[in-house]
Structure 1
Amino acid sequence: MKHLNWDDLRLLSLIAQEGTLRGAARRAGLSPATLSRRLDQLEEAVGQKLVERHQGGCVPTTFGVDMFALAEQMSDIALEVEHAQARQNASSASGVVRINTDEWLSYFLTTRFAPFHDAYPDVEVEIVTSHRPYNLARREADIAIRPYRPEQLDLVARQVGTLSFGLYGSQAIATRYAAAIANQDWTGVPFVGFDEPRAEFQSDQWLRALPGAPAPWMRCSYGLGILDGVTHGAGLGVLASFLASEAHGLVPAIAHIPELDQAIWLSMHRTVRTTARVRAVVDFVGLLFAQYHEGEG
């Protein structure tokens, strides 16, 4: 057996968790071609095939099943080492803090985080935007900020605020359809919303349920696309209220949609909650949401 690259075993663990090279490559921050090459190198090092690759995904060989189990054990040990290191560095406000959140909240953070750098110049912040929640126990991220409370028992969570939504349009749309908006006669009003794969989102379900409203004629795969379309006169769209208040020239057709309110939860693994860099970020995020709600009042 040739010398093993232990990092390749970590990649093998990701393949086991995702079931596809593409999914594992995305988690690892590699291209599928690079991950495939690394898998080839690992199979060459152990002298046996580990994975049967099919169009629908990856199926481990008998030997691969044993190697997957060992890779998982190594991943768990590596996490314990990281946790021990985090505890050792608990008094040092330096290093990288990764925040996993969704699109609206990502925009909320990135547009407000600049003062943090002045206070903590040695802390680097990575804001990872995804609809899929990252696994905090496996240190895919240090902090998650999501519109629901996590269920994992090893996470520490607290509600940091509430995100509200409204129905907005540009000044041109508000003027053109003023009578219809005032009467809530949505029959001939143009709308902007999510595309079909995201039509199950609560905001899009609400929009499509408006009495007499046509389906959105402009459909986007991401929330900021809706903001762009609404801002530039494509129609009415559901937007997070903080976005609409900061965007120039947007007019509320319905300023607040109570049924779309989202409780926002910040969560982290219990082993990182006392580290100085994570604590600094958590406190700053709490301050941002407190200021946001003070501004609403």
Structure 2
Amino acid sequence: MNWDDLRFVLAVAKHGSLSAAARHLRTTQPTVGRRVAAFEASLGTQIFRRLPGSLALTESGISILERLERIETETLAIERTVSGRDAGAEGVVRVSAAEWFCACVLAPICAELSDAHPGMTIELLGESRRANLARGEADIAFRFVRFEQGEVVQRRLGGLAFGLYAAPAYLNRHHSVDFGAGFKGQVIIAMRRELDAIADLVWLEEIADQASTVLRTDSRQAQAHAAVAGAGLACLPCYIGDNTTGLIRVNTPLPVPAREIWMGIHAEVRNTPRVQAAARILAAGIRKKSSGLEPGGHPPDKNA
């Protein structure tokens, strides 16, 4: 039995299809199909039922899924324990965060990382789905809520301010925003509801319940570009809104909910030299940018 096939099986179980698993694993659909078939052949049982456009676990698959997940967790723990100890600050470090945070905040810091550690390669995983650190999907993750996993070592790096933005052309057409009337006559650009609870989305939908929604997207940068084009009002991180040419911040009678920036590292890789080095420089870089990220009156945790 080839236990390397296990990650392919679990990716299909989690994402529900060969194509989705292939995108997650950054490989091809036929490769995933072959690895799953090989694993099933080695077990002598069918783990998945083939459905139109998807795969579902069979009863056999359901009965062994929890054990397979435990095997994967233990395998990854062994790899984390023995890998990287003697390699120094060299090799690949996988960093997960929201797409806009990767592009606007983390990517520029990678220049400093490259200068300090030329043997290190950073893989930035910009995605709306949260990477599972326990499963080795990333070495370092940045989120805007606390990590719930007990085995994750986390620190708060600062706050994240939000504002309401629009293009001058839009404001000229729609004049002043009537906050007391639920944004009646206004058009908004918002995040998708299917994502996890997002404070600014809840705030916007509560105060703008009379507005029409022209666009929903899980991309903050797409929201900003749509707002620049005059499509509507968008609630954006100030780091994006204030630095996007063509947008004006709209004064709001009530403050837009702020969020926090948390960095998480799985406890078993925290002492790996390359992860330590990357985390140190990324955290310092975020703190340097804190004036453009942090809501007023809430300085970053200097002791974290």
- Give the TM-score band, short-chain normalised: 0.7 to 0.9
TM-score for both structures, normalised by structure 1: 0.82
- Structure 1 counterpart of 2:228: 231
Structure 2 gaps, min length 5: 297-304
- Structure 1 counterpart of 2:122: 125
Give, in whole Å, the separation in 2 of the partners of 1:191 and 1:222: 15
Name the % identity. 29
Shift of 1:17: 5.0
Give, in whole Å, the separation in 2 of the partners of 1:199 and 1:174: 30
The SS at the match of 1:268 is strand
- Structure 2 counterpart of 1:34: 31
- Structure 1 counterpart of 2:57: 59
- Structure 1 counterpart of 2:143: 146
Shift of 1:79: 1.4
1:95 aligned to 2:94? no
1:251 aligned to 2:248? yes
- Number of residues of Structure 1 aligned to a counterpart in Structure 2: 291
The SS at the match of 1:35 is helix
Give, in whole Å, the separation in 2 of the partners of 1:71 and 1:197: 29
Cα deviation per residue 1:79-115 (whole Å; 9 max; x = unaligned)?
13322224623x7111111111123322322244322
Kindly indicate whether the alpha-carbon contact (under 8 Å) linking 1:52 and 1:61 is maintained by their aligned counterparts in 2.
no
1:203 aligned to 2:200? yes
Give, in whole Å, the separation in 1 of the partners of 2:184 and 2:65: 57
Kindly indicate whether the alpha-carbon contact (under 8 Å) linking 2:163 and 2:256 is maintained by their aligned counterparts in 1.
no
Kindly indicate whether the alpha-carbon contact (under 8 Å) linking 2:167 and 2:228 is maintained by their aligned counterparts in 1.
yes
Kindly indicate whether the alpha-carbon contact (under 8 Å) linking 1:86 and 1:272 is maintained by their aligned counterparts in 2.
no
- Structure 2 counterpart of 1:192: 189
The SS at the match of 2:207 is coil
- Structure 2 counterpart of 1:273: 270
Kindly indicate whether the alpha-carbon contact (under 8 Å) linking 2:154 and 2:264 is maintained by their aligned counterparts in 1.
yes
Deviates more, 1:229-238 or 1:247-256: 247-256
Give, in whole Å, the separation in 2 of the partners of 1:218 and 1:49: 42
The SS at the match of 1:57 is strand
Cα deviation per residue 1:210-241 (whole Å; 9 max; x = unaligned)?
25741222333422211110122222211110
The SS at the match of 2:288 is helix
Structure whose CA Rg is larger: 1
Cα deviation per residue 1:226-264 (whole Å; 9 max; x = unaligned)?
111012222221111011121113211137964420011
- Structure 2 counterpart of 1:155: 152
Give, in whole Å, the separation in 2 of the partners of 1:159 and 1:195: 26
1:82 aligned to 2:54? no
Q: CA 1:211–1:144 in structure 2 vs 1: closer, same or farther (change >3 Å)?
A: closer
TM-score for both structures, normalised by structure 2: 0.81
- Structure 2 counterpart of 1:172: 169
Say which of 279, 284, 290 aligns to 1:282: 279
Give, in whole Å, the separation in 2 of the partners of 1:198 and 1:101: 14
Shift of 1:69: 6.8
- Structure 2 counterpart of 1:110: 107
Kindly indicate whether the alpha-carbon contact (under 8 Å) linking 1:155 and 1:270 is maintained by their aligned counterparts in 2.
yes
Give, in whole Å, the separation in 2 of the partners of 1:184 and 1:125: 47
Structure 1 gaps, min length 5: none
Shift of 1:292: 1.9
The SS at the match of 1:93 is coil
Give, in whole Å, the separation in 1 of the partners of 2:169 and 2:108: 26
Shift of 1:204: 2.6
Shift of 1:19: 5.6
